[in-house]
């Protein structure tokens, strides 16, 4: 069914992420949701991309109700977006398709997408969707965990090859993955011939935007002790000691709406000791932990 495309319209739904999952997004810069779009929707998307709009910007697919309901408003994906962007986030106004031939002998260069800025504020999300299965030999996008905090100019990163700790986003049909916009990513080399209906590797890409002030209104875990949460990105060697965890904690505080209460005083204070020196001996709160996250408020 054709509808008026809901470009930039506000949308709300129930949040689906927990405190720990939100922290993991702050640490890693991405979240992968394998196979969340139903097969019948995936098949309709592939047919549309092969027979209606095979361009690199099939934005008019937003006029199809099955695409808006099945992909853009997908309950698991939209619930994750709602958790990170708050109430009444906006729907996309542009759909891109990284439509690559199979096979493809070239590996793309590492890059941050245009317009990236360094900030703890999470005002929008970049989201990707595989309408068909993408295996590791079909040239999936790789992301570098924690790299959304790395201050590097584009000419200084494009020449890198394989980086230890990079993560493949390969997944079954219907996989959606969300990223902080500034994360390092690249397309990998495709050695496979086409396996699905399409002779191309299709990867749709679009953004959602925040309209509400940040607050901790996702699924709250009252048992979580923020004194012992590990905020360090998995690739800690990419940063000066502890600075990755400091940046992730700052982003989490911003998402909670308490950025003004987080002051990194330096030295051995929250969050750098979270995973290394759990304060279980006397139940004390770490120095520097914001008041709303303390054990004793």
Token duo for residue 132: 């068909």
Regarding pTM above 0.75, the answer is yes
Distance of CA 220 to the CA centre of its chain: 20
**From CA 122, how far away is CA 248, in angstroms rounded?**
11
Give the pLDDT score at 284: 79
Residues 177, 57, 79: CA angle, nearest 5 degrees: 30
Domain range list for the chain: 10-209, 236-293
Token duo for residue 158: 């494009």
* Domain formed by 10-209, architecture: Sandwich (2.60)
Integer CA distances (angstroms), 216 to 155, 252, 259, in order: 37, 9, 12
Residue 256's contacts (CB-CB under 8 Å, 6 or more residues apart) are 214, 215, 216, 292, 293
Give the pLDDT score at 265: 78
Residue the block writes with tokens 């199979």: 102
Cβ count within 10 A of residue 55: 12
Give the pLDDT score at 277: 57
Beta strands in the chain (DSSP E): 10-11, 30-33, 89-90, 96-97, 100-101, 124-130, 141-143, 167-168, 175-179, 185-187, 200-201, 204-209
Cβ count within 10 A of residue 158: 12
- Say if CB 145 and CB 234 are below 8 A apart: yes
Low-confidence ranges of the chain (pLDDT < 50): none
Biggest CA-to-CA distance, the chain: 66
pLDDT digit string (tens) for 4-49? 999 999 999 999 999 999 999 999 999 999 999 999 999 999 999 9
Give the pLDDT score at 273: 66
Give the pLDDT score at 272: 80
Distance of CA 5 to the CA centre of its chain: 24
């Amino acid at each position: 069914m054709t509808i008026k495309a809901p470009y930039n319209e506000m949308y709300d739904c129930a949040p689906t992420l927990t405190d720990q999952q939100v922290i993991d997004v702050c640490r890693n810069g991405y979240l992968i949701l394998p196979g969340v779009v139903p097969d019948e929707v995936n098949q309709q998307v592939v047919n549309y991309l092969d027979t209606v709009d095979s361009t690199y910007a099939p934005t008019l697919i937003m006029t199809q109700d099955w695409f808006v309901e099945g992909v853009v408003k997908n309950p698991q994906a939209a619930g994750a977006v709602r958790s990170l962007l708050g109430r009444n986030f906006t729907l996309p106004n542009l759909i891109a398709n990284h439509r690559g031939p199979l096979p493809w002998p070239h590996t793309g260069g590492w890059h941050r997408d245009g317009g990236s800025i360094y900030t703890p504020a999470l005002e929008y999300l970049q989201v990707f969707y595989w309408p068909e299965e993408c295996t590791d030999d079909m040239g999936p996008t790789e992301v570098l965990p924690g790299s959304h905090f790395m201050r590097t100019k584009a000419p200084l990163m494009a020449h890198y090859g394989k980086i230890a700790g990079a993560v493949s986003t390969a997944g079954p049909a219907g996989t959606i993955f969300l990223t902080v916009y500034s994360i390092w990513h690249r397309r990998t080399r495709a050695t496979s011939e086409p396996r699905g209906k399409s002779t191309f590797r299709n990867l749709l890409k679009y953004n959602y935007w925040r309209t509400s002030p940040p607050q901790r209104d996702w699924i709250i875990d009252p048992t979580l002790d923020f004194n012992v949460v590990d905020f360090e990105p998995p690739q800690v060697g990419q940063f000066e000691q502890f600075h990755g965890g400091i940046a992730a904690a700052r982003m989490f505080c911003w998402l909670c709406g308490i950025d003004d209460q987080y002051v990194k005083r330096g030295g051995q204070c929250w969050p750098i000791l979270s995973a290394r020196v759990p304060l279980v001996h006397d139940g004390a709160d770490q120095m520097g932990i914001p008041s709303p996250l303390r054990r004793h408020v």
